[in-house]
Amino acid sequence: MLWQWPNMPVLCWALFKVAALVSAGHLQSAFSSLSTAFLFVWAYLELAQGVNYFRRTLGAVVLVAIVISFFR
């Protein structure tokens, strides 16, 4: 299978990322943090339960990128 519908964490990540882009102040910060949390959940789920090695590798790469950006 080359393509499948996005799962709930990816949809929530996109929703909160758009909300962060159109808001300002503390609300923007909260939406940005929530979007990162949903992306982290998606990456973990792909790493642990991905349907093929490409998706597991993609989850691992995104997870590492999130962790590195957290410590910057």
Instruction: Report the amino acid identity of residue 20.
Output: A
Report the alpha-carbon distance of residue 36 to residue 51 in Å, rounded. Answer: 23
* CA dist list (Å): 70 to 36, 50, 64, 67: 10, 24, 10, 5
Q: What is the pLDDT of residue 3?
A: 64
Per-residue pLDDT tens listing for the chain (72 residues): 566 677 899 999 999 999 999 999 999 999 999 999 999 999 999 999 988 899 999 999 999 999 999 999
State the pLDDT at residue 64: 97
The CA distance from 13 to 17, in Å, is 6
Q: What is the pLDDT, as a whole number, of residue 5? A: 72
Give 54's contacts (C-beta < 8 A, 6+ positions apart): none
